[in-house]
Amino acid sequence: MGAPVKETRAMIAGMAPVLDPVIYHFCTGPAGLLPDAIASFREEEGLSLILSDAVALAHGLRSDMPMQRITLTVHSALDGVGLTAAVAAALAQVGIACNMVAGLHHDHAFVPADDAARAVEALLALASDT
């Protein structure tokens, strides 16, 4: 993998969004589910977990907001500025909520499952306009 992309326009133009077909749920759950979570965050209210639909269902933790993950495949720098804001703004402009999660190599936008295809279209348009 090459060096992380830091320049704003390059990150947006190169984001190459990929839709994950798996349905996910944001849940509060026990630490024992950490190995099954694709992401977690400790909050005052408890351990927030992002779980696949199958794992959430097996533990009675499904939410009323099924989400899908769109991975921005550009290797974005942790100190890059503007990618998250551009993605959130583009999705807001077409009325789609998003929850951003950053990993070491990529950013991930979680969007309502019913809006996932439209969200990818909006992000592809954003990338091509940059």
CB contact at 8 A, 78 and 104: yes
Query: Rounded to the nearest 10 degrees, what angle do helices 83-93 and 116-129 cross at?
Result: 120
**According to the model, what pLDDT value does residue 62 have?**
82
pLDDT tier at 1 (50, 70, 90 boundaries)? low
Count of domains observed in the chain: 1
Domain that holds residue 104: 8-129
Per the domain annotation, does 2 fall within a domain? no
Per the domain annotation, does 1 fall within a domain? no
Q: What angle do CA 86, 90, 92 make, to 5 degrees?
A: 115
Q: What angle do CA 58, 108, 127 make, to 5 degrees?
A: 145
**CATH, residue 46:** 3.30.2130.10
0.85 exceeded by the pTM? yes
Q: What is the pLDDT of residues 40-92, one digit of tens each?
A: 999 999 999 999 999 999 999 988 999 999 999 999 999 999 999 999 999 99
CB contact at 8 A, 66 and 116: no
